[in-house]
């Protein structure tokens, strides 16, 4: 009888911890990251010279990066490691301070780019640095896309 009680208790604890996943935070985090990905599309096409350079579009994209990246550091609580189809690797949780500093660096880099993109040449010089911040994090802390 005691064994059954212990098994039932362990099962309840396991179910409770699975239910404790912070799915709302995971969704919010994924939404912000998706917004940043969407914001990078038009400038990415400009870099490839698929569409003409437009400084207003670039600055609007940089505003998205600044806004979303500044919100992301708060969206990695311990209860959001799993669930919600998160693509965060365990390495992220082991190096959370590095991840947070990368978001802050992205904000600073995007702000500097926004202040300094006066023409297409400035854009070509600064855009790779901005999105390079994204790629560095993706390679280290996100499940690889197939």
* Separation of alpha carbons 79 and 61, rounded Å: 31
Structure confidence by residue, pLDDT tens digits, 76-104: 999 999 998 999 999 999 999 999 999 99
What are the extents of the domains in the chain? 22-141
The pLDDT score that the predictor gives to residue 1 is 55
Let me know: does 104 contact 73? Beta carbons within 8 Å: yes
Mean pLDDT (whole number) for 32-37? 97
> Which position has the token pair 């010279």?
49
Alpha carbon 37 to chain centroid distance? 9
Q: What is the mean pLDDT of residues 35-61?
A: 97
Q: Residue 74 carries which DSSP code?
A: G
CATH architecture of 22-141: Up-down Bundle (1.20)
- Global pTM reads 0.83
Q: What mean pLDDT is predicted for residues 5-17?
A: 46
Q: From CA 142, how far away is CA 146, in angstroms rounded? A: 12
Inter-residue contact 61 to 36 (CB < 8 Å): no
**Cα-based distances in Å from 11 to 5, 7, 15, 20, 80:** 10, 6, 6, 14, 21
């Amino acid at each position: 009888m005691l064994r059954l009680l212990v098994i039932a208790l362990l099962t309840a604890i396991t179910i409770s911890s699975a239910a404790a996943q912070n799915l709302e935070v995971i969704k919010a985090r994924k939404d912000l990251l998706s917004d940043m990905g969407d914001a990078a599309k038009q400038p990415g096409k400009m870099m490839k010279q698929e569409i003409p350079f437009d400084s207003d579009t670039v600055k609007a994209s940089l505003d998205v990066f600044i806004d979303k990246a500044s919100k992301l550091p708060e969206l990695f609580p311990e209860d959001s490691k799993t669930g919600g189809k998160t693509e965060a690797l365990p390495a992220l949780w082991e190096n959370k301070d590095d991840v947070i500093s990368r978001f802050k660096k992205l904000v600073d880099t995007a702000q500097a780019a926004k202040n300094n993109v006066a023409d297409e040449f400035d854009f070509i010089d600064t855009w790779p640095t901005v999105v390079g911040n994204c790629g560095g994090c993706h390679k280290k802390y996100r499940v690889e896309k197939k």
